[in-house]
Amino acid sequence: MPLKLKSFLMSMVKYLIEVIDILEDPKIDGYRVKDFLEAKYSNYLRVDVETIKGNDGSVDLVTILIPGAQGKKLGGTAPTLGITGRAGGISARPTIKGLVSDADGVITALAVAYKIAEMARRGDALPGDVIITTNICPNAIVIPHEPAPLIRSPINLFEILRREVKPEMDAILSVDATKANLVVKNLGFAITPTVKEGWILKVSPDLIKIYMNVTGRTPIIVPLTMQDIIPFTVPVYHINSIVQPWLFTKSPVVGVAITTETVIPGSATNVTNLISLDQASRFILEVAYEFTTGKMKFYDENEWNILKNTYGELSEIMRRGLGDSS
Protein backbone atom coordinates (compact mmCIF):
# COMPACT_ATOMS: atom_id res chain seq x y z
CA MET A 1 0.00 0.00 0.00
CA PRO A 2 1.44 3.44 -0.91
CA LEU A 3 2.68 5.33 2.17
CA LYS A 4 0.45 8.36 1.46
CA LEU A 5 -2.69 6.21 1.26
CA LYS A 6 -1.68 4.19 4.31
CA SER A 7 -1.21 7.31 6.45
CA PHE A 8 -4.54 8.66 5.21
CA LEU A 9 -6.39 5.49 6.20
CA MET A 10 -4.76 5.50 9.63
CA SER A 11 -5.82 9.06 10.49
CA MET A 12 -9.31 10.33 11.32
CA VAL A 13 -11.14 8.68 8.43
CA LYS A 14 -12.38 5.67 10.41
CA TYR A 15 -14.12 7.94 12.89
CA LEU A 16 -15.52 10.22 10.21
CA ILE A 17 -16.97 7.33 8.19
CA GLU A 18 -18.73 5.86 11.21
CA VAL A 19 -20.16 9.23 12.21
CA ILE A 20 -21.38 9.89 8.67
CA ASP A 21 -23.05 6.48 8.57
CA ILE A 22 -24.91 7.20 11.81
CA LEU A 23 -26.00 10.69 10.77
CA GLU A 24 -27.31 9.49 7.39
CA ASP A 25 -30.05 7.48 9.11
CA PRO A 26 -33.36 9.31 8.50
CA LYS A 27 -34.34 8.48 12.09
CA ILE A 28 -31.22 10.03 13.61
CA ASP A 29 -31.57 12.21 16.68
CA GLY A 30 -29.39 13.31 19.55
CA TYR A 31 -30.32 10.32 21.69
CA ARG A 32 -29.03 7.88 19.07
CA VAL A 33 -25.74 9.78 19.02
CA LYS A 34 -25.65 9.53 22.81
CA ASP A 35 -26.34 5.79 22.72
CA PHE A 36 -23.62 5.21 20.12
CA LEU A 37 -20.91 6.99 22.11
CA GLU A 38 -21.90 5.77 25.56
CA ALA A 39 -22.10 2.16 24.39
CA LYS A 40 -18.39 2.38 23.60
CA TYR A 41 -17.05 4.89 26.11
CA SER A 42 -19.38 5.20 29.10
CA ASN A 43 -16.36 5.28 31.44
CA TYR A 44 -14.58 8.02 29.49
CA LEU A 45 -17.21 10.60 28.60
CA ARG A 46 -20.60 11.99 29.47
CA VAL A 47 -23.22 12.83 26.86
CA ASP A 48 -26.21 15.06 27.57
CA VAL A 49 -29.06 15.69 25.13
CA GLU A 50 -31.62 18.48 25.30
CA THR A 51 -34.52 18.71 22.85
CA ILE A 52 -35.68 22.21 21.97
CA LYS A 53 -39.02 22.56 20.20
CA GLY A 54 -40.27 25.48 18.16
CA ASN A 55 -43.07 26.33 15.75
CA ASP A 56 -41.08 25.07 12.75
CA GLY A 57 -39.63 21.91 14.29
CA SER A 58 -37.10 20.80 16.88
CA VAL A 59 -33.40 20.16 17.39
CA ASP A 60 -31.46 17.97 19.78
CA LEU A 61 -28.56 19.76 21.44
CA VAL A 62 -25.74 17.33 22.20
CA THR A 63 -23.08 18.10 24.81
CA ILE A 64 -20.12 15.74 25.22
CA LEU A 65 -17.70 16.10 28.13
CA ILE A 66 -14.44 14.16 27.94
CA PRO A 67 -12.45 14.68 31.16
CA GLY A 68 -8.72 15.21 30.84
CA ALA A 69 -6.06 13.57 32.98
CA GLN A 70 -5.35 16.92 34.69
CA GLY A 71 -8.65 18.55 33.76
CA LYS A 72 -10.92 20.60 35.97
CA LYS A 73 -13.57 17.87 36.05
CA LEU A 74 -11.15 15.69 38.03
CA GLY A 75 -9.90 18.55 40.20
CA GLY A 76 -6.97 19.61 38.02
CA THR A 77 -6.06 22.95 36.50
CA ALA A 78 -5.42 22.20 32.82
CA PRO A 79 -7.31 24.48 30.38
CA THR A 80 -10.61 23.33 28.89
CA LEU A 81 -11.15 23.46 25.14
CA GLY A 82 -14.61 23.90 23.68
CA ILE A 83 -15.47 22.57 20.22
CA THR A 84 -18.77 23.58 18.63
CA GLY A 85 -20.05 21.78 15.56
CA ARG A 86 -22.03 24.59 13.93
CA ALA A 87 -24.86 23.77 11.55
CA GLY A 88 -28.32 24.88 10.62
CA GLY A 89 -29.09 21.20 10.13
CA ILE A 90 -27.67 17.93 8.86
CA SER A 91 -30.49 17.42 6.35
CA ALA A 92 -33.72 19.05 5.19
CA ARG A 93 -36.09 16.12 5.08
CA PRO A 94 -38.57 15.48 3.61
CA THR A 95 -37.59 17.94 0.87
CA ILE A 96 -33.97 16.78 0.68
CA LYS A 97 -32.71 13.24 1.24
CA GLY A 98 -29.32 12.52 2.77
CA LEU A 99 -26.70 14.64 4.49
CA VAL A 100 -26.32 18.20 3.26
CA SER A 101 -23.16 20.26 2.94
CA ASP A 102 -24.06 22.09 6.14
CA ALA A 103 -23.58 18.87 8.12
CA ASP A 104 -19.77 19.17 7.94
CA GLY A 105 -19.47 20.93 11.29
CA VAL A 106 -21.53 18.29 13.07
CA ILE A 107 -19.63 15.43 11.42
CA THR A 108 -16.25 16.90 12.31
CA ALA A 109 -17.11 17.72 15.92
CA LEU A 110 -18.56 14.27 16.61
CA ALA A 111 -15.64 12.50 14.91
CA VAL A 112 -13.18 14.44 17.08
CA ALA A 113 -15.18 13.52 20.19
CA TYR A 114 -15.13 9.88 19.09
CA LYS A 115 -11.35 9.96 18.58
CA ILE A 116 -10.56 11.71 21.89
CA ALA A 117 -12.72 9.21 23.77
CA GLU A 118 -10.91 6.33 22.07
CA MET A 119 -7.57 7.88 23.03
CA ALA A 120 -8.74 8.05 26.65
CA ARG A 121 -9.84 4.41 26.55
CA ARG A 122 -6.37 3.43 25.36
CA GLY A 123 -4.74 5.34 28.21
CA ASP A 124 -3.83 8.40 26.14
CA ALA A 125 -6.21 10.93 27.69
CA LEU A 126 -5.59 14.57 26.86
CA PRO A 127 -4.32 16.75 29.73
CA GLY A 128 -7.39 18.99 29.92
CA ASP A 129 -11.12 18.56 29.57
CA VAL A 130 -12.70 18.85 26.13
CA ILE A 131 -16.34 19.87 25.74
CA ILE A 132 -17.94 19.22 22.36
CA THR A 133 -21.34 20.71 21.57
CA THR A 134 -23.45 20.42 18.45
CA ASN A 135 -27.05 20.07 17.36
CA ILE A 136 -28.81 17.32 15.46
CA CYS A 137 -31.57 18.43 13.11
CA PRO A 138 -32.47 16.24 10.11
CA ASN A 139 -35.45 18.46 9.19
CA ALA A 140 -33.90 21.89 8.71
CA ILE A 141 -35.08 24.67 6.39
CA VAL A 142 -33.47 25.90 3.15
CA ILE A 143 -33.22 29.70 3.00
CA PRO A 144 -32.11 32.12 0.25
CA HIS A 145 -28.55 33.46 0.46
CA GLU A 146 -26.09 34.88 -2.03
CA PRO A 147 -24.27 33.38 -3.81
CA ALA A 148 -25.96 30.09 -2.78
CA PRO A 149 -28.73 28.93 -0.42
CA LEU A 150 -28.03 28.08 3.22
CA ILE A 151 -29.63 25.75 5.74
CA ARG A 152 -31.48 27.29 8.70
CA SER A 153 -32.39 25.59 11.94
CA PRO A 154 -36.08 25.57 12.91
CA ILE A 155 -34.94 26.97 16.27
CA ASN A 156 -33.67 30.51 16.88
CA LEU A 157 -29.89 30.57 16.36
CA PHE A 158 -29.27 32.36 19.64
CA GLU A 159 -31.28 29.81 21.61
CA ILE A 160 -28.91 27.18 20.27
CA LEU A 161 -25.74 29.21 20.80
CA ARG A 162 -26.66 30.02 24.40
CA ARG A 163 -26.63 26.30 25.07
CA GLU A 164 -23.70 25.32 22.85
CA VAL A 165 -21.33 27.80 24.49
CA LYS A 166 -20.43 26.63 27.99
CA PRO A 167 -18.89 28.81 30.72
CA GLU A 168 -16.24 26.13 31.35
CA MET A 169 -14.76 26.62 27.87
CA ASP A 170 -11.48 28.54 28.13
CA ALA A 171 -11.22 28.78 24.33
CA ILE A 172 -13.52 27.68 21.52
CA LEU A 173 -13.03 26.20 18.07
CA SER A 174 -16.19 26.64 16.02
CA VAL A 175 -16.25 24.34 13.00
CA ASP A 176 -18.68 25.05 10.18
CA ALA A 177 -19.17 24.41 6.47
CA THR A 178 -18.15 27.65 4.73
CA LYS A 179 -18.70 27.00 1.05
CA ALA A 180 -21.57 29.29 -0.02
CA ASN A 181 -19.35 32.35 -0.49
CA LEU A 182 -16.89 33.93 -2.92
CA VAL A 183 -14.16 35.06 -0.52
CA VAL A 184 -12.46 31.93 0.83
CA LYS A 185 -12.15 29.38 -1.97
CA ASN A 186 -9.77 26.50 -1.43
CA LEU A 187 -10.41 22.78 -1.09
CA GLY A 188 -9.81 21.79 2.52
CA PHE A 189 -10.26 24.05 5.50
CA ALA A 190 -9.41 27.55 6.62
CA ILE A 191 -9.17 29.26 9.99
CA THR A 192 -10.40 32.66 11.11
CA PRO A 193 -8.64 35.32 13.10
CA THR A 194 -9.35 35.09 16.81
CA VAL A 195 -12.57 36.82 17.86
CA LYS A 196 -12.86 37.98 21.45
CA GLU A 197 -15.36 40.32 23.09
CA GLY A 198 -16.20 42.12 19.85
CA TRP A 199 -12.64 42.37 18.58
CA ILE A 200 -11.23 40.65 15.50
CA LEU A 201 -7.68 39.99 16.67
CA LYS A 202 -4.69 38.83 14.67
CA VAL A 203 -4.50 35.22 13.59
CA SER A 204 -2.85 33.18 16.33
CA PRO A 205 0.75 32.31 15.35
CA ASP A 206 0.38 29.06 17.28
CA LEU A 207 -2.66 28.07 15.24
CA ILE A 208 -0.84 28.96 12.02
CA LYS A 209 2.00 26.66 13.03
CA ILE A 210 -0.39 23.80 13.81
CA TYR A 211 -2.20 24.36 10.51
CA MET A 212 1.05 24.11 8.56
CA ASN A 213 2.19 21.02 10.46
CA VAL A 214 -1.11 19.22 9.88
CA THR A 215 -1.58 20.12 6.21
CA GLY A 216 1.98 20.62 4.99
CA ARG A 217 0.99 23.88 3.30
CA THR A 218 0.66 27.57 4.02
CA PRO A 219 -2.49 28.49 5.95
CA ILE A 220 -5.73 29.69 4.40
CA ILE A 221 -7.35 32.45 6.46
CA VAL A 222 -11.03 33.41 6.35
CA PRO A 223 -11.21 37.18 5.66
CA LEU A 224 -13.60 38.07 8.47
CA THR A 225 -15.23 41.50 8.50
CA MET A 226 -17.08 43.36 11.24
CA GLN A 227 -20.34 42.33 9.56
CA ASP A 228 -19.50 38.67 10.11
CA ILE A 229 -19.22 38.99 13.89
CA ILE A 230 -22.25 41.14 14.68
CA PRO A 231 -25.42 39.20 15.55
CA PHE A 232 -26.86 37.19 12.69
CA THR A 233 -30.19 38.96 13.16
CA VAL A 234 -28.77 42.29 11.96
CA PRO A 235 -29.93 42.38 8.30
CA VAL A 236 -26.54 42.71 6.61
CA TYR A 237 -24.40 40.12 4.86
CA HIS A 238 -22.67 37.51 7.04
CA ILE A 239 -20.42 34.82 5.59
CA ASN A 240 -22.19 32.41 8.00
CA SER A 241 -22.54 31.89 11.76
CA ILE A 242 -19.07 30.42 12.27
CA VAL A 243 -17.84 32.97 14.83
CA GLN A 244 -21.21 33.84 16.37
CA PRO A 245 -20.35 31.86 19.55
CA TRP A 246 -18.28 34.86 20.69
CA LEU A 247 -21.56 36.61 21.52
CA PHE A 248 -22.01 34.35 24.54
CA THR A 249 -18.52 34.14 26.00
CA LYS A 250 -15.47 36.15 26.99
CA SER A 251 -13.24 33.30 25.86
CA PRO A 252 -11.46 33.54 22.49
CA VAL A 253 -13.24 31.98 19.51
CA VAL A 254 -11.62 30.74 16.30
CA GLY A 255 -13.57 29.40 13.34
CA VAL A 256 -12.51 26.26 11.50
CA ALA A 257 -14.14 26.60 8.10
CA ILE A 258 -14.63 23.63 5.78
CA THR A 259 -14.07 25.12 2.34
CA THR A 260 -14.22 24.36 -1.38
CA GLU A 261 -12.88 25.95 -4.55
CA THR A 262 -16.39 26.38 -5.97
CA VAL A 263 -19.56 27.81 -4.45
CA ILE A 264 -21.61 24.99 -2.94
CA PRO A 265 -25.04 25.55 -1.36
CA GLY A 266 -25.50 24.54 2.25
CA SER A 267 -28.39 22.41 1.02
CA ALA A 268 -26.32 20.41 -1.52
CA THR A 269 -26.13 16.64 -0.99
CA ASN A 270 -23.37 14.10 -1.71
CA VAL A 271 -20.70 16.76 -1.28
CA THR A 272 -19.05 15.51 1.93
CA ASN A 273 -15.29 15.52 1.30
CA LEU A 274 -13.46 13.08 3.57
CA ILE A 275 -10.03 14.53 2.84
CA SER A 276 -11.13 18.02 3.89
CA LEU A 277 -12.84 16.74 7.03
CA ASP A 278 -9.84 14.56 7.87
CA GLN A 279 -7.49 17.55 7.76
CA ALA A 280 -9.83 19.75 9.78
CA SER A 281 -10.36 16.99 12.36
CA ARG A 282 -6.63 16.41 12.78
CA PHE A 283 -6.10 20.16 13.16
CA ILE A 284 -8.73 20.33 15.91
CA LEU A 285 -7.29 17.27 17.61
CA GLU A 286 -3.81 18.78 17.64
CA VAL A 287 -5.13 22.08 18.98
CA ALA A 288 -6.94 20.15 21.72
CA TYR A 289 -3.67 18.56 22.77
CA GLU A 290 -1.53 21.70 22.52
CA PHE A 291 -4.07 23.97 24.22
CA THR A 292 -4.93 21.69 27.13
CA THR A 293 -1.21 21.06 27.63
CA GLY A 294 -0.66 24.82 27.88
CA LYS A 295 1.69 24.91 24.90
CA MET A 296 -0.30 27.31 22.73
CA LYS A 297 -2.43 30.45 22.95
CA PHE A 298 -5.37 31.72 20.95
CA TYR A 299 -4.33 35.35 21.45
CA ASP A 300 -1.54 37.54 22.82
CA GLU A 301 -2.61 38.65 26.30
CA ASN A 302 -0.24 41.63 26.36
CA GLU A 303 -1.56 42.97 23.05
CA TRP A 304 -5.11 42.32 24.22
CA ASN A 305 -4.56 44.48 27.31
CA ILE A 306 -3.05 47.26 25.19
CA LEU A 307 -6.06 47.24 22.86
CA LYS A 308 -8.56 47.34 25.72
CA ASN A 309 -6.70 50.07 27.60
CA THR A 310 -6.34 52.18 24.46
CA TYR A 311 -9.76 51.77 22.85
CA GLY A 312 -12.03 50.44 25.58
CA GLU A 313 -14.74 47.81 25.41
CA LEU A 314 -16.38 46.83 22.11
CA SER A 315 -18.56 43.94 23.21
CA GLU A 316 -21.66 45.99 24.08
CA ILE A 317 -21.63 47.80 20.74
CA MET A 318 -20.97 44.66 18.72
CA ARG A 319 -23.74 42.74 20.50
CA ARG A 320 -26.45 45.21 19.50
CA GLY A 321 -29.28 43.36 17.78
CA LEU A 322 -28.72 40.23 19.85
CA GLY A 323 -32.13 40.50 21.46
CA ASP A 324 -33.97 40.52 18.12
CA SER A 325 -35.66 37.30 17.02
CA SER A 326 -34.44 35.48 13.91
pLDDT at residue number 10:
47
**How far is the C-alpha of 24 from the C-alpha of 20, rounded, in Å?**
6
What is the mean pLDDT of the segment spanning 312-316?
A: 94
Mean pLDDT of 28-34: 98
- pLDDT confidence tier of residue 144, bands split at 50, 70 and 90: confident
Domains of the chain: 3-318 (3.40.630.10)
Can you list the positions of beta strands (E) in 69-119?
81-85
C-alpha to C-alpha distance for 11 and 315, rounded to whole angstroms:
39
What is the bridge-based pairing of β-strands 188-191 and 253-259?
antiparallel
Instruction: Return the SS3 of 72.
Output: helix
Sign (positive or negative) of CA dihedral 288, 120, 131, 112:
positive
Collapsed DSSP state (helix, strand, coil) of residue 314: coil
Q: Dmax over Cα atoms in the chain, in whole Å?
A: 58
Q: In which band, very low, low, confident or very high, does the pLDDT at 145 lie, cut at 50, 70 and 90?
A: confident
118-145 average pLDDT score:
94
Q: Is the pLDDT of residue 136 over 90?
A: yes
- The predicted model scores a pTM of 0.94
